[in-house]
């Protein structure tokens, strides 16, 4: 896995790190018309965020330990 800091992935992981985000909020906020620009999917594929089901909230996106390490490594 590459540790290259893609600025958009870094911004996304930092945004999710503030608080777990509802899946619908992530889709709405980070949607794009370009199928090749899938920032949140890139972050998930790299292991920086994960989908979880939380009682009372439903499906959420949260930062993983790898995501927290990624943020620290890049000064965020």
Is residue 43 included in any domain, yes or no? Answer: yes
Domain membership of residue 46 (yes or no) is yes
Q: Kindly tell me the burial class for residue 55, based on how many C-beta atoms sit within 10 Å of its own C-beta (0-12, 13-18, 19 or more).
A: exposed
Answer yes or no: is 2 within a domain: no
Determine the structural domain holding residue 30 and report its residue range: 7-73
| 1 within a domain of the structure (yes/no) | no
Query: Per residue in 7-57, pLDDT tens?
Result: 989 999 999 999 989 988 988 888 776 666 678 888 999 999 999 998 888
Cβ contact 70:10 at 8 Å: yes
Domain annotation covers residue 20: yes
Number of domains in the chain: 1
Answer whether residue 15 is part of any domain.
yes
Q: How confident is the model at residue 71 (pLDDT cuts 50, 70, 90)?
A: very high
Q: What is the CATH number of the domain that holds 42?
A: 1.10.10.10
């Amino acid at each position: 896995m590459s540790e290259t800091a893609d600025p958009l992935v870094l911004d996304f992981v930092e945004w999710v790190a503030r608080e777990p985000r509802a899946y619908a909020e992530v889709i709405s906020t980070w949607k794009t018309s370009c199928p090749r620009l899938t920032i949140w999917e890139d972050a998930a594929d790299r292991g920086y965020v994960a989908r979880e089901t939380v009682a009372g909230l439903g499906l959420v996106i949260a930062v993983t330990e790898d995501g927290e390490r990624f943020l620290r490594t890049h000064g965020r």
